[in-house]
């Protein structure tokens, strides 16, 4: 029986998959960084890849989308200067790399499952599904890329996936300037207290059989008690409206 493949999962902050004009370049830099032991890749800007450490602490403002508010933002800052001035917020991704430990083509996309917990709310296991694509590619036995619509049953020796994306929708209920709205949304997120956002990937049985799994997480910093008390009862809609998607 073959040994379990090597799983590596890491959280990343990057441009929003849905609204960003920089996502394609970010994807190129992210995969280069992941393959090269998480080294930074790309020039300074929204497409640059920098991995977060597993268990990193965030303040709640780093993954808010502002397309719904009609203004640009980056990492919780409204109307940022170039080269960030065309972005509509930042997304939190959990990227995964899976390698067969013997370099054999035993892995396949159809066996990849994800289990997610966002801001303390757990979601059951679900298949990534679909076909091989630029956001989820493989390397086959001949070292060729598998990323152009090949069937999910195609066997590969490496699987790379930019990961499940997560953003919080801007909460505009308190009004104010764009920066006020971003600050308020971040406070609403932190009102939850110390909550973990975690993503786990697992590999079901393949042919030949392989198994394995791994997780990564980030923690949201709780707000101080007086501030938390002041926020109780307001902005609750923002806690419930977020978007998670499989890129």
**Residue 1 above 70 pLDDT?**
no
Specify the pLDDT at position 223. Answer: 58
Q: Using the structure block, give the residue that is written with the tokens 């933002």.
A: 73
For the chain, the structural domain boundaries read 6-242
Tokens of 38: 């998480």
Specify the pLDDT at position 246. Answer: 65
Specify the pLDDT at position 31. Answer: 93
The strand ranges marked E within the chain are 6-15, 56-58, 64-65, 73-74, 77-78, 90-99, 112-118, 121-127, 136-139, 145-146, 158-169, 195-203, 212-220, 242-246
The length of the chain is 247
Q: Which residue has the higher pLDDT, 221 or 49?
A: 49
At 145, the pLDDT band (50, 70, 90 cuts) reads: very high
Q: Which residue has the higher pLDDT, 228 or 76?
A: 76
Specify the pLDDT at position 202. Answer: 87
Specify the pLDDT at position 124. Answer: 75
Specify the pLDDT at position 234. Answer: 43
**Residue 91 above 80 pLDDT?**
yes
Residues 6+ apart with CB under 8 A from 33: 39, 40, 41, 49, 50, 51
Phi, psi of 166 (to 5 degrees): -140, 125
What is the three-class DSSP state of 230?
helix
Specify the pLDDT at position 122. Answer: 80
What is the three-class DSSP state of 190?
helix
Specify the pLDDT at position 230. Answer: 45
Of 1-15, 21-35, 180-194, minimum mean pLDDT range: 1-15
**Residue 88 above 80 pLDDT?**
yes
What is the three-class DSSP state of 75?
coil
Of 4-8, 20-24, 77-81, minimum mean pLDDT range: 4-8
Q: Which residue has the higher pLDDT, 204 or 65?
A: 65
Mean of pLDDT over the chain = 84
Specify the pLDDT at position 232. Answer: 43
**Residue 144 above 90 pLDDT?**
yes
What is the DSSP annotation of 25-44?
HHHHHHHHHHHTTT--BSSS
Specify the pLDDT at position 132. Answer: 95
Q: What is the mean pLDDT of residues 65-94?
A: 95
**Residue 146 above 50 pLDDT?**
yes
Q: pLDDT tens digits for 204-242? A: 744 444 467 888 888 887 655 444 444 444 444 444 455
Q: pLDDT tens digits for 101-136? A: 889 999 999 989 888 888 777 877 788 888 999 999
Residues 6+ apart with CB under 8 A from 226: none
Element (H, E) at 189: helix 178-190
- Nearest CA to 13 among 191, 167, 180? 167
């Amino acid at each position: 029986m073959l040994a379990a493949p090597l799983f590596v999962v890491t959280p990343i902050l990057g441009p929003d998959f849905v609204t960003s004009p920089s996502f394609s370049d970010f994807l190129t830099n992210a995969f280069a960084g992941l393959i090269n032991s998480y080294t930074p890749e790309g020039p300074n800007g929204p497409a640059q890849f920098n991995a977060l450490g597993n268990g990193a602490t965030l303040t709640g403002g780093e993954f808010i989308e502002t397309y719904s508010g009609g203004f640009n933002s980056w990492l919780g800052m409204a109307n940022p200067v170039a080269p960030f001035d065309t972005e509509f917020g930042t997304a939190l991704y959990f990227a995964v790399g899976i390698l067969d430990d013997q370099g054999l083509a035993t892995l396949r996309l159809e066996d990849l499952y994800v289990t997610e917990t966002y801001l303390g709310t757990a979601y059951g296991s679900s298949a990534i599904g679909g076909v091989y694509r630029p956001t989820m590619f493989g390397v086959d036995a001949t070292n060729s890329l598998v990323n152009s619509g090949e069937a999910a049953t195609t066997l590969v020796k490496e699987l790379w996936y930019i990961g499940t994306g997560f953003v919080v929708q801007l909460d505009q209920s308190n009004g104010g300037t764009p920066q006020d709205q971003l600050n308020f949304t971040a406070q609403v997120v932190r009102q939850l207290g110390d909550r973990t956002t975690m993503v786990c990937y697992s590999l079901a049985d393949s042919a030949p059989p392989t198994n394995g799994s791994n997780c990564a997480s980030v923690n949201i910093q709780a707000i101080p008690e007086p501030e938390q008390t002041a926020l109780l009862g307001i902005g609750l809609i923002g806690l419930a409206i977020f978007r998670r998607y499989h890129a």
